[in-house]
Amino acid sequence: VDTIVLDKTGTLTLGNPVVSAVHPSPGVDERSVVEAAAIVERPSEHPLAKAVLQKAAELSLPIVEPERFDSTPGKGVTGLAGGEEIIVGNREFLEGRGFHLNGLAANAGASSQVIVARGGQLLGALQIQDVLRPESVAAVAELRKMGLRTILLTGDAEAIAREVGEQLGMDEVEAGLLPDEKLARINALLKQGKTVAMVGDGVNDAPALAQANVGIAMGSGTDVARESANVVLLGNDLLKLVETLKIARRCKHIIMQNFAGT
């Protein structure tokens, strides 16, 4: 392996994001924004959904099951509740459905931003933040010491990805990627003759995990991520990944020595 590709949410971060701010549209209260988002996010397995549901619990909001649920990986989710369509997703997802955001929470900084609409009305936006795993900086530094090129691929916005990439000292950062675009990036690296290990934890990472020379899933990852990977880390300590790679290199060295000796 000469190239390590890493997902962000749940891999380099703890995967336990929290809602850091709510930005209601004029005439809309905060509870309405959170309630609508929580209804449609309830069936979702995405880490951002957990943050929304946690915020709803903090506000003691009763959350019903949506009558219908559809997910567009890397973009957002839709559902039906009380005969009204609820749409929750990134800016492009809402704009693609005809909503004019008019600068709503346009400067989210290093937060993931989720826009919420219900019954054709734009309710507001949620800012959601995650934190780096405590060992992420040390793990990436060790990977680079081993001569490995480190690449961050994420569906998050450019500002978030760049900040995380700078904190970790990543060699390369690519943001705003859908699952098929992550897969295309892995294929491009393979065509360049790179030997690629992909590390991820989510449904969005499954195609890339399956395509890489070695797919490595976090222990807390989704079922589909673990099933798509060649290796599943026990626990979620990224330093265990470093240790695993070092052991693999040592084993290969011993094997080659044995071949040479015979």
Q: What is d(CA 18, CA 32) in angstroms, rounded to the nearest whole number?
A: 18
The bridge status of strand 121-129 relative to strand 149-153 is: unpaired
Please give the helix or strand (H or E) that residue 160 lies within, else none.
Answer: helix 158-168
Q: What is d(CA 65, CA 41) in angstroms, rounded to the nearest whole number?
A: 9
The bridge status of strand 84-89 relative to strand 196-200 is: unpaired
Collect contacts of 140-147 with beta carbons under 8 A, ≥24 apart. Answer: 140/6, 140/12, 140/168, 140/169, 140/170, 140/238, 141/169, 142/239, 142/242, 143/4, 143/241, 143/242, 143/245, 144/169, 144/171, 146/242, 146/245, 146/246, 146/249, 147/2
Active-site positions read: 7
| Amino acid (1-letter code) at residue 64 | V
Collect contacts of 56-62 with beta carbons under 8 A, ≥24 apart. Answer: 59/30, 59/31, 59/34, 61/31, 61/34, 61/35
| DSSP three-state, residue 34 | helix
- 34 and 56 Cβ atoms separated by less than 8 Å: yes
